[in-house]
Structure 1
Amino acid sequence: MDEVAGAIADPVRREILVMLREGRMSAGQIAGRFQISRPAVSRHLRVLREGGLVHDELVGRRRLYELDPARLHELAEWLGQFGRPAWEQRLDALETEVYRTRREHRTSGAAEEVKEDTA
């Protein structure tokens, strides 16, 4: 798990993982999206591969990289033991308040229409 946490600590590697969600990509395609050198991208890919977050396959002369989310799921499960984050609870409370306010506006709007119709 330390390898996974270390691998995702870098913003470039996190961006590579996001890109690989779309499907397999060559190192050249990945490097083309960054302002860093190809050797630097290769080093990032090696860290991701060693962390078990991506795997590669040699297809002809190209090496294609693919996301392997299993290790991320392990990390997410481990983090889950610390319970639901407070911000999630706050978002749920906000959602409840929004629905309550909408319902009150619909109810008061309907009551006003009835008053206007009877007047």
Structure 2
Amino acid sequence: MSDNNRLRDVFDAIADPTRRRLISLLAEVDDLPLHELTAQFQMGRTAVSKHLAILKEAGLVLDRKIGRETRFRLNATPLKEINDWVAFYSKFWSMNMMRLNQLLEEEEK
């Protein structure tokens, strides 16, 4: 799914701790069936499915049917948007910390 076809904002999709945990679980393996994902949470299959649907709308999760089983896998490509956003602020804080260090060194002299 291209960025233009996403139905949900990636930032919105990862805002929930359960969805972040689902992303972590899916990052560790190629794919997992719904029942194995559900076993990792203290909530029902329907609740986990709703979280997966939100991740799918954001393009973060892909699914495929194998017989009666649905297997899910991570599509990390949309996470680049978050990485790029955080990288900007990382540069901002690095520059400010460097300026602070320079100021402190000047005051010590």
TM-score when scaled to structure 2?
A: 0.73
The separation in 2 between residues aligned to 1:41 and 1:85, in whole angstroms, is 37
The separation in 1 between residues aligned to 2:42 and 2:72, in whole angstroms, is 19
**Deviant stretches of 4+, over 4 Å:** none
Identify the structure with the greater helix proportion: 1
Percent identity of the aligned residues?
34
Tell me the residue number matched to 2:62: 55
Matched, 1:29 2:47: no
Gaps of 5+ in 2: 98-109
Matched, 1:65 2:65: no
Alignment of 1:11-30 (within 5 A): 11-23=17-29, 24-30=31-37
1:82 offset after TM fit, Å? 2.8
Gaps of 5+ in 1: 91-119
In the superposition, relative to structure 1, how do residues 85 and 60 fare at CA in structure 2: closer, same or farther (>3 Å)?
farther
Secondary structure of the corresponding residue to residue 51 of structure 2: helix
Tell me the residue number matched to 2:11: 5
TM-score when scaled to structure 1?
A: 0.67
Deviations 1:68-96 (A, max 9, x none): 00000122113322343648x97xxxxxx
Count of residues paired in the alignment: 89
The separation in 2 between residues aligned to 1:83 and 1:34, in whole angstroms, is 33
Superposition RMSD in Å: 2.1
